[in-house]
Amino acid sequence: MKEWILNIKSLRSYDALFIGLIVSLFCTQAITAVYLMIVLGISLYKKELIPALRKQPGALWIYGFIGLQIVVSAWASNVVGLVNALGMGLVMVWLALYRDKIHPKTLILGIDLMLVLSILTGIYALFQFQAFSQAEGYSFWEFHIQNSPKRRIMATFGNANLYATMLEMWIFLAVYRFTQNKKISYRIFVVLVSLFNFGLLLLTGCRTAILPFVIVIPLFLWLAKEKGWFWVSMIVIGIGILFVCLDPTKIPRITDMSTLESRFKIWRCAWIGFCAFPLFGLGPQSYGLYYRIFDGHKAPHCHNIYIDAFASYGIVGVVLLVVYAFRFLLPEIFSMRKKDSAVFGLMVGMIGIFLIHGLLDVTMNVLATSLVFLMILNAAPLYKKIENPSESMIS
């Protein structure tokens, strides 16, 4: 606690703005968007935004992609896609400032703050669960998880699957912090927060969010060279798998195959949409238009990031994203392998969560999830500030 207080007192301007952004993530998406615009307006007024953008690797590719999505969405009258594309622009411009101004100590403080705030949102989610249960005639203690996403806990994130993704990332960040902070009191805090959030994850009814833990946590511990905890995780996961095999009902909605059947219908319609608009798609979340045009199963997106990427962005958009990722972002991530194996493992683990969860859902298309995901993936330039203490934003 003393360390947190000292770090908070030593915050400078952009560090404080970063902490404010972390707090805004737990509010509505509109509040986060307004906050981002305020931060960018301040940096533009201080003449610090343009220099930061000039330093951003792959700017031509990523902003070319975003510009293309804005144009395509406007042409297709895809209002949701247009809002998504503008949100992408806000996130990427903010990342330029983040990469240029934020120090690793501030990032760690932000992660710890997320863990603390996750408790508050979790308590709010429990009240939601009580209300949803009571409305359908169930007792809170029956822990009955309903099929309708509107009848499952979502906290402040507007959707049960989005909240599940946030919980997924918070638990993984807690595992990272557990390995980095050796204080017993802190580790007890992290374990309790993780167990609390995992319980909430089960209450969201999002089965897809549980699967990444089987792979991502052991992978992280191995890459972070935490061999002892790696074997502990393997034993715990093995026991968990055995427990579920003996009684599958312990995972809420695990036997409900109706949503999987609907996903096959969605994927078929998305393929038809891609074939109709192969080069550019119709902008982000094109499926919202495709199911109307081709009389498909109603859904806001394709429930698969790979299919959704091609259906929404077309071949040209996907190529721009792939070039940006492989030419600029991934080399930065792999540069951390020798500098800091734990941070490297954290980045790889986040990618693992994105790729595995994305097999059956699309949850990185809102500000909260995308900001947490991308601030971890863009952490490499922050650690250069350790090599040059004069650049530190925390004295």
pLDDT per residue, tens digit, the chain (395 aa), is 555 555 555 566 788 899 999 999 999 899 999 999 999 999 999 999 999 999 999 999 999 999 999 999 999 999 999 999 999 999 999 999 999 988 888 999 999 999 999 999 999 999 999 988 888 778 888 777 777 677 889 999 988 889 999 999 999 999 999 999 989 999 999 999 999 999 999 888 887 888 888 899 999 999 999 999 999 999 988 888 888 777 766 666 555 555 667 888 999 999 999 999 999 999 999 999 999 999 888 888 888 999 999 999 999 999 999 999 999 999 999 999 988 999 999 999 999 999 999 888 888 889 999 999 999 999 999 887 665 544 443 33
Give the pTM.
0.90
Q: Is 283 helix (H, G, I), strand (E, B) or coil?
A: strand
Partners of 281 in the β-ladder:
283
Displacement of CA 56 from its chain's centroid (Å): 21
Running DSSP on this structure, what letter comes out for residue 359? Answer: T
Q: Is 281 helix (H, G, I), strand (E, B) or coil?
A: strand
Residue 11, C-beta contacts closer than 8 angstroms, at least 6 positions apart: 19, 106, 394
Task: State the residue for tokens 């902070």.
Answer: 181
Cα three-residue angle 390-394-395, rounded to 5 degrees: 70
Q: How many CB atoms lie within 10 A of CB 316?
A: 16
On the CB side of 393, CA atoms within 13 Å amount to: 25
3-state helix, strand, coil in the chain (%, to 5): 75, 0, 25
Q: End-to-end CA distance of the chain, in Å?
A: 18
Residue 395 is predicted with a pLDDT of 30
